[in-house]
Amino acid sequence: MISVLVTGKDSQLAQCIRDLQENCPEISFDFKNSKELDITSEQSVAKTFKAKTYDYCVNCAAYTAVDKAEIEPQKAKLVNTIGVKNLALACKRHNVVLIHISTDFVFDGKKKTPYTEEDQTNPINVYGKTKRDGEIEIQKTLKRYFIIRTSWLYSNHSNNFVRTILRLSNEKEEIDVVNDQIGCPTYASDLSVFICKIITLNSEHYGIYHFSNEGKATWYGFAKQIIEYWQLNLKLNSVNSNEYITKAKRPGFSVLDTSKAKHTFEIITKEWKSSLYKCFLSYDIQ
């Protein structure tokens, strides 16, 4: 039995991993929320790693409030950089493989073709910088790690763009959505399958990997597809980023090249619209 610690128990990704448990009988998951395991505390991390033997640690804990990070950068750094360093050091001491979830926001968005793992990072907001710095702490500390950069994550759990659009459809008749930021919506359930595959293969192909669904979209295009699948009565107004001012800058283009992950682990990544439809069906079931 493979023993896996999962931080950020209440995050959408951790909940999607929990949904997979029945399909992964060879894995024993131990989910911890921030009260049970505070990754920003060296003592809390040390206590957790001493109490039980783990083979893997999947870090789903993160500070993800992109705009809020601009006004409380130290809080973002505490979770996304210092907390990650604490986990990396504990994994080193206890011979645990770390699987860490990072983001497309480590890039500046100036490229016009999908970003590869070899492209230079250059975050343009506090959130992206703290996530990039967390990656650096892992690389300085560990040899046995997987850093998985993903993009525009959504699911039927927790807070995300899909749930926001569904909520707004009950509150408003029309909304403005930016149509000049390009990325790829990624179903957290698909990412959780990829993570479990890495674990069950006991892979030693360590390093940085990009994982997202296939294709690309703007936030406006993403919202339009949500409205179509859920048949929402909500009018969309297409706006440019300079018309929709936010505290944090966003990359104009952050599509990820997933070739390395597909080749290394022999996986087929799903087209984003088909995965969104699968998410839609899961809402109907509930």
Stated as kind and residue range, the H or E segment containing 191 is helix 188-201
Contacts of 95 (CB under 8 A, 6+ apart): none
Region for 187 from its dihedrals, namely left if φ exceeds 0, alpha if ψ lies in -120 to 50, beta otherwise: beta
* Spatial CA neighbour of 222 closest among 270, 182, 171: 182
* Spatial CA neighbour of 106 closest among 241, 213, 208: 208
Residues facing residue 175 across a β-bridge: 236
Judge residue 123's burial from the number of C-beta atoms within 10 Å of its C-beta, 0-12 exposed, 13-18 middle, 19 or more buried: buried
Select which of 54, 127, 145, 209 is catalytic: 127
What 8-state DSSP symbol labels residue 102? Answer: E
Amino acid, single-letter form, for residue 150:
T
Is position 244 annotated as part of the catalytic site? no
For 48, 55, 138, 161, 180, the CA distances from 52, given in Å and listed in that order, are: 7, 10, 22, 36, 48
Per DSSP, the three-state class of 6 is strand
- Residues with a catalytic annotation lie at 127
